[in-house]
Copies of this chain bind each other. A is one copy, B any other.
Amino acid sequence: MDILPDFSGPQNASETDAVILAAGDFPTHPIPLGLLARAAEGRIICCDGAADRLLREGFTPLAVVGDGDSISPEARRRLSDCLHIESEQDTNDLSKAVRYAVSQGMRRLTILGATGRREDHTLGNISLLADYQARGLDVEMWTDYGVFTPATGCQTFASRAGQQFSVFCLDDAPLTLRDVRWPLEGRRITRWWQATLNEALTDTFRVETRGRIIVFRTYITL
């Protein structure tokens, strides 16, 4: 088992405009924790359900966004200067935080804490990456196990030999995978599991599709 400390995807983490912390499991893996620490100086936007934990961990957010129901009176007092209440119910707190970031001119976003706890929230949050990309944002979601990246068209992904990855297709469009353990050539993927648990052979792999996909790369190599 080998953690990838110099993991570099299409988005280089040091160039992110903001880290958005959602209210799922707070990160415990060194990679997402490192991304959070590097954003500590005024680049953390926090969903209100994650605000108390963020404060307990010693961070101060640039902004806290949400309906304000999930924050303690103590945290609310400490964060009153940066609390942005949005009570409309058509979007979830993650999307409200993304919208706030965009309103501040930010478009390169690193999402943390968006998986774990209720699985329907996890699924919803992962799929929202495709919507954010369609709006022109450069966005990735880093969990305790790997990184989710939305994509479409032809794209090269950074990898390491032996690194595991999965591809999830959101549309019924053929998928091609090259330079991987189990290549695909124009294959229709109609089940979420059908393009999972593949493996990179070298320092990049290629993905081609006309549809929307979400690629997950693990931190761990064999």
Contacts and interface: CB of A to CB of B under 8 A. Distances in A.
Interface of A: 92, 115-128, 130-131, 143, 145-146, 148, 166, 168, 170-172, 190-193, 196-197, 216, 218
Nearest to A172: B172
A20 to B, nearest CB: 16
Contacts of A131: 191
Taken together, the copies of this chain in the complex come to 2
Contacts of A124: 166, 192-193, 196-197
Given A118-B218, A145-B117, A216-B120, A127 B192 contact: yes
Given A118-B218, A120-B166, A125-B193, 18 more contacts: A115-B119, A118-B146, A119-B122, A119-B143, A119-B145, A119-B146, A119-B148, A120-B216, A121-B196, A122-B122, A123-B123, A126-B192, A128-B191, A128-B193, A131-B191, A170-B190, A170-B191, A172-B172
A123 B168 contact: yes
A118 B126 CA distance: 13
A148 B119 CA distance: 9
Q: Give the dominant DSSP class at A's interface.
A: mixed
Given A117-B145, A122-B122, A145-B119, A127 B172 contact: no
B127 A191 contact: yes
Nearest to A117: B145
A157 to B, nearest CB: 14
Contacts of A197: 92, 120, 124
